[in-house]
């Protein structure tokens, strides 16, 4: 525990004066509620129409922003923005290579495993912050849209865990790219290009022509922890249920992939020269 | 105080990189404090390896807090003390990226000094410093040596090693050419004594009775006599010359400069 505290304290010393970190975390804090507010606003615009179409939409869609569905809906929309904290994660590791402080930290007395553990803690802490942010947004959104008192407020609260696992897994992949590539802009370029559009296109193509084998691609593995919310899947109820049933498998795949990613990082870091 | 010498690419920094665990050795082993190297042992060593590596967006003082947090060497109060020692105290809150090369080097030396470690590893410690800075750091290193610190210093500045080191090793292409006390490394096989008098020819004739290798240097108005290593007694030579009617105006046992010895050993 003392060892963990020392690592966290040292990482805090590095982050507290790093303006880019605070700027990007600020953007994250605005973008997560922002995207949910936009979709909520669009939903309100549709269902508040007095026309027959508006009323039909209200019946068909229900209220995805009320409990218990709010946990799922907010998780789904928020997960689109994981690339913003991913920028922070990539910067935190590539900075060490840019400044050559990955060498200095070892010279000063950290073991190679301690250095990487400090970065693992960074990714965990950022995941925790993002998950807390998502949880607050879900809770507030659900309460604001609650028309009557229901017992099922916490029914889908397991999406908090799924969101945390998805965020941690995808931030770990961002870290992995930064760790291997070492150059900030190249790593950012690769991650953003892979995040969008490369993998989504490959997943769509494989869904059509490859027996849906795209579900095993690195980001898609954890993307399927949070399937499309129920209101977006009204036209394909069977597909929606199938995606819900696949969640436990994808929890396992995600844990495996994330474990392998960090395992490779520790293995490589232990063996390579720190230049 | 141990100097590691060698031409560019001889492996000085690589050697220090291996013992500080930033490079992996193909073979061989090393001990710190009579034990195999670990991160806990590195915490006790003040190090400056190659270039100063700090967080550019942080001030000098904040960077030393990171060093202190990782190494556990010294306390917060010691940070100001080492910054004063390297004349950076007035600029302690300026970001590292605004520092000149010399200031960056001073900060790296301050980091190495933090907590007054008994063992220090310094790789080219005067790199990038101006003449005043070089003299100050050299003086600081001498003070540390006199206080009983063990210092391992890699340098290609032979004059620097000759002036401050007690022991040295010379490397070439990753191989150890020689090691030992600096005095011994500089010593040639024989003693060379340089003398001078009003009449050089008479002096050479008298000295030829003491040894066979006599070289007269008209330009510098000296005569050099080579004697077997360790046999040159300056007081006896002086008396011998005086008894033979020669009054000496100069008498010195010439040591080979480390530079000359270095060139000999590395065939450069």
Coil, strand or helix at A228: coil
Among chain B residues, CA nearest to A92: B55
Among chain A residues, CA nearest to B121: A107
Contact predicate B165/B186, CB 8 Å: no
Selecting from B24, B42, B62 the residue whose C-beta is nearest the C-beta of A273 gives B24
- The DSSP secondary-structure symbol of B148 reads T
Both tokens of B61, joined, read 């003082």
Among chain A residues, CA nearest to B45: A108
How close, in Å, is residue A90 to chain B by CA atoms?
16
Q: What is the pTM of this model?
A: 0.84
Among chain B residues, CA nearest to A110: B39
ipTM over 0.90: no
Coil, strand or helix at A43: helix
Residue A46 CB contacts under 8 Å (≥ 6 apart), including other chains: A54, A57, A58, A61
How close, in Å, is residue B264 to chain A by CA atoms?
33
Would you write out chain A's pLDDT as a tens digit for each of its 275 residues?
Answer: 778 899 999 999 999 999 999 999 999 999 999 988 998 888 888 877 777 777 777 777 778 888 888 899 999 999 999 999 999 999 999 999 999 999 999 999 999 999 999 999 999 999 999 999 999 999 998 888 877 666 678 888 899 999 999 999 999 999 999 999 999 999 999 999 999 899 999 999 998 898 889 999 999 999 999 998 877 777 677 888 888 999 999 999 999 999 999 999 999 999 888 88
Rg value, chain B, Cα: 24
How close, in Å, is residue B134 to chain A by CA atoms?
23
- Tens-place pLDDT, residues B223-258: 988 888 778 888 999 999 999 999 999 998 876 666
Between positions 246 and 275 of A, the ones with CB within 8 A of B are 271-274
Contacts of A99 in chain B (CB under 8 A): 53-56
How close, in Å, is residue A180 to chain B by CA atoms?
17
In this structure, the dihedral spanned by the alpha carbons of residues A122, A128, A129 and A135, taken in order and rounded to 10 degrees, is: 170
Contact predicate B153/B125, CB 8 Å: yes
Contacts of B69 in chain A (CB under 8 A): 6, 9-10, 13
Q: Is the CB of residue A52 less than 8 Å away from at least one CB of chain B?
A: no
């Amino acid at each position: 525990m003392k060892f963990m505290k020392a690592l966290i304290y040292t990482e805090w010393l590095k982050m507290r004066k790093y303006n880019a970190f605070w700027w990007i975390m600020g953007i994250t804090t605005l973008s997560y509620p922002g995207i949910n507010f936009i979709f909520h606003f669009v939903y309100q615009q549709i269902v508040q129409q007095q026309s027959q179409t508006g009323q039909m939409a209200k019946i068909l869609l229900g209220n995805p922003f009320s409990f218990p569905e709010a946990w799922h809906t907010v998780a789904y929309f928020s997960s689109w923005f994981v690339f913003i904290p991913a920028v922070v994660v990539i910067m935190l590791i590539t900075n060490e290579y840019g400044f050559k402080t990955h060498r200095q930290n070892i010279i000063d007395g950290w073991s190679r495993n301690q250095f990487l553990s400090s970065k693992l803690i960074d990714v965990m802490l950022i995941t925790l912050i993002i998950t807390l942010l998502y949880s607050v947004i879900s809770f507030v959104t659900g309460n604001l849209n609650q028309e009557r008192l229901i017992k099922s407020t916490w029914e889908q609260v397991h999406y908090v865990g799924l969101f945390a696992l998805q965020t941690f897994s995808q931030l770990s992949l961002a870290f992995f790219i930064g760790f291997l590539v070492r150059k900030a802009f190249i790593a950012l370029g690769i991650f953003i290009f892979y995040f969008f559009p490369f993998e989504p296109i490959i997943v769509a193509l494989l869904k059509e022509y490859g027996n849906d084998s795209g579900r095993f691609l690195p980001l898609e593995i954890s993307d399927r922890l949070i399937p499309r919310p129920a209101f977006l899947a009204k036209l394909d109820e069977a597909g929606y249920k199938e995606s819900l049933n696949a969640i436990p498998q994808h929890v396992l795949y995600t844990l495996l992939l994330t474990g392998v990613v960090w395992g490779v990082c520790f293995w490589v870091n232990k063996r390579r020269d720190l230049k | 105080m141990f100097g590691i010498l060698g031409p560019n690419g001889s492996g000085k920094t690589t050697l220090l990189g291996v013992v500080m665990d930033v490079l992996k050795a193909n073979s061989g082993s090393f001990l710190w404090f009579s034990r195999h190297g670990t991160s806990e042992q590195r915490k006790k060593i003040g190090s400056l390896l190659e270039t100063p590596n700090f967080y550019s967006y942080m001030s000098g003082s904040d960077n030393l807090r990171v060093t202190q947090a990782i190494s556990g060497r010294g306390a917060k109060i010691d940070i100001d003390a080492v910054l004063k020692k390297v004349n950076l105290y007035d600029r302690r809150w300026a970001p590292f990226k605004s520092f000149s090369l010399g200031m960056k080097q001073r900060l790296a030396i301050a980091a190495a000094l933090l907590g007054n470690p008994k063992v220090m590893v310094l790789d080219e410690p005067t790199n990038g410093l101006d003449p005043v800075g070089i003299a100050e750091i050299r003086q600081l290193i001498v003070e540390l040596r006199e206080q009983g610190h063990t210092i391992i210093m890699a340098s290609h500045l032979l004059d620097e090693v000759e002036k401050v080191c007690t022991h040295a090793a010379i490397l070439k292409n990753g191989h150890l050419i020689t090691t030992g006390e600096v005095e011994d490394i500089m010593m040639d096989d024989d003693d060379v004594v340089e003398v001078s008098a009003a009449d050089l020819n008479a002096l050479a004739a008298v000295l030829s009775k003491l040894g066979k290798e006599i070289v007269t240097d008209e330009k510098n108005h000296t005569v050099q006599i080579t004697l077997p290593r360790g046999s040159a007694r300056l007081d006896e030579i002086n008396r011998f010359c005086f008894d033979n009617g020669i009054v000496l105006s100069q008498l010195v046992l010439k040591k080979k400069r480390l530079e000359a010895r270095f060139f000999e050993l590395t065939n450069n």
